């Protein structure tokens, strides 16, 4: 036996032993998973209300079989052409030149997808079929716009799930890694699966980041500050100044309660809060409670009263200053819009300027999240929240992840289970996994009044504490931030607010998406932004006349806000006013896990 043959024999023996270990460790677990999955699949449930839309599409093709025949013929032609191309490539025994016209797809970044004829064929065959499936569903006539969007979205979701990268035997990187590690990657992948799988419910919670890599207040959410006020819904953080002089008007930030505030304070290198403090603002940030069953009855009105109005009282006690500026991020901005209209009607002028990060007030073009907010789905959510009084944090996290399934689901599925990698140590992913619950009454109000009925954009469409809400009554200066690639608050939807508020509005368009478009420290020198000083009310005209600027938009915002923040005064120390320190930031509320 030659040395080469000995090496191969030893390698095969190692592989055999490895797979034996894998089978012994995981056979019982996988049996349980399949049994429970079968039980779930046989239940007659459609919580996302997908069935009616697909039934209409099926009826369309039944009534016009020629349409399906034409679509199938087109698919057949493309596959025949691909087979001919693949045959020629294999005969020539050299890789075909890369098609630069095709958009980059990170799923197929491994070199074998381009250099190995078999895997290149698998990739191209999948791309042809997945594109055909989505295009065919897009061609269905006679559907409502919402049904068509739902069909296209879920067709793409299904196509993404069946990518060859998600299956071991058709993922060249997984196969190579198995060989290079003598099968240890397979063992580790199955151990990771066992770790992430709940054997009782068969629910898979894919670990995106190392849960032990970060600790609040230690290496994440570290900007020094104090809790100076709290109620049932929030703790209020006042941050310690880093400049001798500060702007007279404090800056109060209302983040979304859909997730935790420290997206604005991940680490010093990317902390918006630390940067704002360094610009001379006295910064207060709301840290929302992670609600339990007792808080399920809290309403949108409660969030307005306890979340903004009571906070303004607290800030005045802490600083001795009545007038402030505010920031509202995402749903925190939606709450701020409604509150500003309420205050205007009541003659309360304490907020002198307001900034909105990726926040919507008109939900007529609210993006893909509208796919999850029709009346049937919201009714199903109401039933699901009936017992506990809240929506589980994982439910909201799953919804957001589905909007970018390749990036936020399947990439981690491949890394964890097919490649056997350890979880990443990444601050943003740690925050993303730190989900929060939604109180029943507030969440239902938000979905029905905003997403379904779009009532906030209509004068008097909603009333809070008996006051009709009319956004045109808001006459203070507004800074409106949106991001080019935001799929949660699309910039055309955000732009609609320029026609709702009654005062001067500065709309600014940032690069990137819902998170990176907001959290973009100037030191990073990333993601350009666009401004248009003429501020036309037509979006196309705004884009046509927009000027592009390098890097972060934070500097532009600071120039705007500093003009609305009063003179410079001596710095303010948390606890030096009428409110005493309750505890150190980041506080106890943010530490509560779902």
Residue 425: pLDDT above 70? yes
- Cβ(96)–Cβ(85) below 8 Å: yes
The alpha-helical segments, DSSP class H, found in 162-260 are: 172-180, 184-196
Q: From the CA atom positions of the chain, what is the Rg in Å?
A: 27
pLDDT of residue 35: 43
Share of residues in the chain with pLDDT > 70 (%): 90
**Rounded CA gap, 124 and 126, in Å?**
5
The vertex-162 CA angle with 413 and 27, nearest 5°, equals: 55
Q: What are the pLDDT digits (tens) for 481-513?
A: 999 999 999 999 999 999 999 999 999 999 999
Count the alpha carbons within 13 Å of 111 in the hemisphere toward its beta carbon. 1
Mean pLDDT computed over 411-434: 94
Q: What is the 3-state secondary structure (H, E, C) of 512-543?
A: CCCCCCCCCCHHHCCCCEEECCCCCCCHHHHH
Residue whose C-alpha is closest to residue 262's, from 390, 108, 431, 422: 431
Return the number of other C-beta atoms located less than 10 Å from residue 111's C-beta: 13
If pLDDT is split at 50, 70 and 90, which confidence band does 14 have? low
Residue 15: pLDDT above 90? no
Contact partners, residue 429, CB within 8 Å, separation at least 6: 208, 209
If pLDDT is split at 50, 70 and 90, which confidence band does 19 have? very low
Count the alpha carbons within 13 Å of 350 in the hemisphere toward its beta carbon. 23
pLDDT of residue 73: 83
Q: What are the pLDDT digits (tens) for 62-77?
A: 787 887 788 888 888 8
pLDDT of residue 40: 38
Residue 481: strand pairing partners: 357, 508
Q: What is the 3-state secondary structure (H, E, C) of 6-20?
A: HHHHHHHHHHHHHHH
Mean pLDDT computed over 130-157: 88
Choose between 89 and 40: higher pLDDT.
89
- pTM more than 0.85: yes
Active-site annotation holds for 191: no
Token pair 């938009």 is at which residue? 553
Q: What are the pLDDT digits (tens) for 208-224?
A: 999 999 999 999 999 99
pLDDT of residue 7: 46
Mean pLDDT computed over 167-184: 95
Q: How do the domains of the chain map onto residue ranges?
A: 3-196, 225-392+437-591
Choose between 127 and 82: higher pLDDT.
127
Mean pLDDT computed over 243-261: 97
Residue 44: pLDDT above 50? no
Q: What are the pLDDT digits (tens) for 431-472?
A: 999 999 999 999 999 999 999 999 999 999 999 999 999 999
Range among 20-29, 31-40, 119-128, 311-320 rated most confident? 311-320
Q: What are the pLDDT digits (tens) for 530-571?
A: 999 999 999 999 999 999 999 999 999 999 999 999 999 999
Residue 42: pLDDT above 70? no
The vertex-256 CA angle with 251 and 259, nearest 5°, equals: 125
Residue whose C-alpha is closest to residue 473's, from 486, 452, 456, 487: 456
Mean pLDDT computed over 421-429: 93
Residue 114: pLDDT above 50? yes
The alpha-helical segments, DSSP class H, found in 199-330 are: 272-278, 300-304, 310-319
- Cβ(264)–Cβ(519) below 8 Å: yes
**Rounded CA gap, 65 and 89, in Å?**
36
- Residue 251: φ, ψ to 5°: -115, 120
Choose between 81 and 227: higher pLDDT.
227
- Cβ(282)–Cβ(572) below 8 Å: yes
- The per-type count for the chain, helices as H runs and strands as E runs, is 21, 17
Third-level CATH fold of 225-392+437-591: Rossmann fold (3.40.50)
Residue whose C-alpha is closest to residue 153's, from 48, 23, 46: 48
- Cβ(58)–Cβ(151) below 8 Å: no
From the list 330, 335, 358, 369, the catalytic residue is 330
Cis bond before residue 586 (omega within 30° of 0): yes
């Amino acid at each position: 036996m030659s040395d080469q043959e000995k090496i191969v024999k030893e390698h095969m023996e190692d592989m055999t032993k490895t797979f034996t270990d894998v089978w012994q460790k995981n056979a019982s677990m996988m049996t349980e998973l399949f049994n429970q999955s079968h039980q779930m699949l046989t239940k007659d449930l459609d919580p996302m209300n997908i069935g009616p839309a697909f039934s209409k599409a099926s009826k369309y093709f039944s009534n016009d079989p020629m349409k399906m025949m034409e679509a199938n013929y087109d698919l057949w032609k493309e596959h025949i052409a691909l087979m001919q191309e693949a045959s020629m490539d294999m005969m020539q025994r050299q890789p075909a030149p890369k098609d630069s016209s095709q958009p980059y797809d990170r799923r197929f970044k491994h070199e074998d997808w381009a250099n190995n004829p078999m895997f290149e064929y698998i990739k191209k065959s999948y791309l042809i079929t997945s594109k055909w499936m989505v295009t065919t569903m897009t061609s269905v006539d006679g559907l409502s716009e919402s049904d068509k969007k739902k069909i296209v979205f879920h067709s793409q979701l299904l196509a993404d799930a069946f990518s060859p990268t998600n299956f071991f035997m058709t993922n060249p990187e997984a196969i190579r890694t198995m060989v290079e590690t003598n099968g240890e990657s397979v063992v580790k992948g199955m151990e990771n699966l066992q770790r992430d799988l709940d054997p009782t419910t068969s629910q898979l919670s894919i670990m995106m980041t190392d849960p032990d890599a970060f600790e609040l207040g230690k290496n994440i959410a570290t900007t020094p500050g104090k809790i100076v006020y709290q109620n049932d819904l929030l703790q209020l953080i006042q941050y310690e100044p880093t400049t001798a002089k500060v702007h007279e008007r404090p800056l109060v930030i209302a983040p979304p309660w859909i997730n935790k505030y420290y997206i604005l304070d991940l680490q010093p290198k990317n902390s918006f809060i630390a940067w704002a403090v360094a610009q001379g603002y006295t910064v207060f940030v709301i840290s929302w409670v992670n609600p339990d069953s007792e808080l399920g009855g809290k309403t949108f009105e409660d969030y307005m009263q306890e979340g903004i109005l009571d906070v303004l009282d607290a800030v005045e006690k802490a600083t001795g200053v009545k007038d402030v500026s505010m920031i509202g991020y995402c749903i925190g901005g939606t709450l701020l819009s409604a509150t500003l209209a309420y205050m205007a009607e009541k003659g309360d002028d304490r907020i002198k300027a307001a900034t909105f990060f990726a926040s919507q007030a008109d939900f007529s073009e609210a993006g893909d999240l509208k796919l999850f907010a029709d009346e049937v789905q919201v009714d199903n959510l109401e039933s699901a929240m009936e017992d506990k009084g809240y929506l589980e944090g994982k439910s909201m996290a799953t919804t957001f992840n589905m909007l970018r399934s390749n990036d936020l689901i399947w990439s981690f599925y491949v890394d964890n289970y097919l490649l056997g990698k350890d979880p990443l140590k990444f601050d943003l992913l740690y925050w993303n996994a730190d989900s929060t619950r939604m109180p029943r009454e507030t969440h239902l109000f938000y979905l029905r009044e905003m997403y379904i009925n779009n009532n906030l954009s209509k004068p008097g469409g909603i009333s809070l504490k008996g006051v009709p809400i009319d956004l045109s009554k808001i006459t203070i200066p507004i800074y409106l931030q949106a991001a080019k690639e935001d799929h949660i608050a699309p910039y055309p939807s955000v732009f609609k607010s320029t026609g709702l508020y009654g005062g001067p509005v500065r709309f600014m368009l940032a690069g990137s998406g819902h998170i990176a478009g907001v959290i973009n420290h100037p030191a990073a020198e990333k993601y350009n932004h666009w401004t248009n000083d003429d501020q036309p009310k037509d979006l196309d005209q705004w884009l046509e006349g927009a000027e592009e600027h390098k890097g972060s938009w934070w500097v532009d915002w600071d120039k705007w806000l500093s003009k609305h923040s009063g003179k410079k005064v001596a710095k303010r120390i948390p606890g030096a006013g009428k409110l005493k320190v309750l505890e150190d930031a980041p506080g106890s509320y943010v530490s509560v896990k779902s």
